A and B are shown apart, each in its own frame.
Chain A
């Protein structure tokens, strides 16, 4: 029984870690701007595409990866300046529509550049190798992901709690206008948030596409949405919440992918039911349940609307 479940659990933890890195970007932006950055999943995809093209140019990998992370961070910065900053005082719906527009634009740009073809993600030596853990064969990246996620989150939490810019971020997310009156440069705080979020999405993309090595313009949509669900699940605005939510969703999703096999081997069902296609739908069902039962998520703060 354990031998059947373990491989799914393992890939669940790995995917969960990758979702976590994307989810942090969602949760930070939402915490500060109260905006669902629909384009965040596409930033993640752009990071993948940039890697494909940079690696194809023949640069060594130790140059490629930092270059990809830098470019991704820059993309996040530019998106914020071009598409969200002009709408800061507009109704929330306008900013959300702008985010959808950016997502549409990024996908179409990549479609144009790649010609709509699947691109093979470069193999990164070291983390693409296979290893054996507890009787299951997997890639090294599966093991590295959770460790890296924990390290990055620890660094991020320290940044937010101990540094000046972190304090400014917390202040802005508490009260936008008052923070501005207190002399905090809102724009640079927001830009920093986008840069950090995109940087982490870049890291996530290196890990994710090592696992699933094809990139196409729609590659970012599903991981993006799932990471968003993870952020809501954990309580939007809370970084540890987003990480825990992402791991739970990653694991559940992979268990469902293997549910047919698991149930079959356990003797519960006689023939496969094709439940694996519900792995995506499950995430959204979970979202709806969470929103109805506990809209603030696992670690979210309660807010009340005033007239």
Chain B
């Protein structure tokens, strides 16, 4: 057997390193208010969430719609445990400062956010993972709705702040290094989400390339055959579900940092749908595709297509149809076109190194 070429992997590493270097450099040079950084921060967050959803829907074949619920858990755990003690009376003004009177370091709180989401995934997975495709989708969706309500329930207020928002916890801007006068000397507020997201996605890729990953893919392709080959279905599905939720939890915590506030009412089914559509656009079963389409989706919706929501004049001609909400209509149409005619999405099931591999193969054939 011919040994696999190491060149594609090398090119991939170079691209990744270049992206990180580019982000770091851009952040030092461009003004911090640039739209680019909003897109990059949110894109990095969505990339992690989309990849974690792809781990379930694309690689294991479990059609779960509970993503928003797990993100909510992550966001709340992060918020609850990192609000500085001094700020708690302000945040929990209706609940006498809340019951939790300590704050954890950010890294620990992030891990805890993931673990809490994974724990709930384990609990809900016990009954739900026995279900078949579409029933499972609805059951996980229902679970997300239940979580959202429980968090807002008044008696939970001393912990979750009820239906009021959590705020004043450390956000991305707090990662910037400042000098004694409070001026920013090194900007890190975009690089840090890239690093968190990058490490997490890296871990997911490692998992997918391991024996476990192959087992998960075989479950996706044919459950019964996989079981016949000695793969413990229940165990592997539970594992995938918990790991996916773990990273969704971290993604939720990152979303909290990005938004600087957390409120349960934003973690709706619509958010899950949005992430699902990102996964579909990127290609169900491709990590690279999910990452790429997250940035594309965020950039298009927050930045490039903004002009569709405002009146535009070309000379003295007013472009018709353009007004608030048109952007979303255009978006929906693009998504429907992808879903109906380009079912493989941007990347299909290919990854970044495959792109270089294929070209080389073609060259060799010539």
Contacts and interface: CB of A to CB of B under 8 A. Distances in A.
B332 A232 contact: no
Nearest to A277: B149
A21 interface: no
Interface in A56-108: 82-83, 86-87, 90, 92-94, 96-98, 100-105, 107-108
A96 B134 contact: yes
A125 B355 CA distance: 65
Chain B binding site: helix, strand, loop or mixed by DSSP? helix
Nearest to A115: B324
Nearest to B224: A307
Given A96-B137, A116-B325, A101 B142 contact: no
Nearest to B154: A274
Interface stretch (A47-55, A130-138, A194-202, A221-229): A221-229
A101 B332 contact: yes
Interface in B315-352: 323-326, 328-329, 331-333, 335-336, 339-340, 343
A83 B127 contact: no
B365 to A, nearest CB: 31
A51 B45 CA distance: 41
Contact of B142 (A83, A109, A288, A305): A288
Interface stretch (B90-98, B247-255, B273-281): B273-281
Interface size class of A (residues with CB under 8 A): 35 or more
A112 B309 CA distance: 10
Contact of A100 (B146, B224, B273, B340): B273
Contacts of A283: 142
A98 B328 CA distance: 17
A278 B269 contact: no
B63 interface: yes
Contacts of B111: none
Contacts of B326: 112
A1 B40 CA distance: 59
Contact of B133 (A92, A103, A109): A92
A295 B139 CA distance: 11
A287 interface: yes
Contacts of B324: 112, 115-116
B134 A98 contact: no
B142 A229 contact: yes
Contact of B335 (A82, A104, A109, A116): A104
B13 interface: no
B339 A97 contact: yes
A291 interface: yes
Interface string B126-160: 01101111110111011101100110111100000
Interface of A: 34-36, 82-83, 86-87, 90, 92-94, 96-98, 100-105, 107-109, 111-112, 115-116, 218, 221, 225, 228-229, 232, 273-274, 277-278, 280-281, 283-285, 287-288, 291-292, 295, 305, 307
Given A100-B277, A109-B329, A232-B135, 17 more contacts: A36-B134, A82-B340, A93-B57, A93-B133, A97-B276, A101-B339, A108-B325, A112-B324, A225-B269, A278-B153, A281-B149, A284-B145, A285-B142, A288-B127, A291-B139, A292-B130, A307-B225
12 contacts: A36-B137, A36-B138, A92-B133, A94-B343, A98-B340, A101-B339, A104-B273, A105-B336, A109-B329, A277-B153, A288-B143, A291-B131
Top-3 shortest CB links A-B: A284-B142, A112-B325, A105-B332
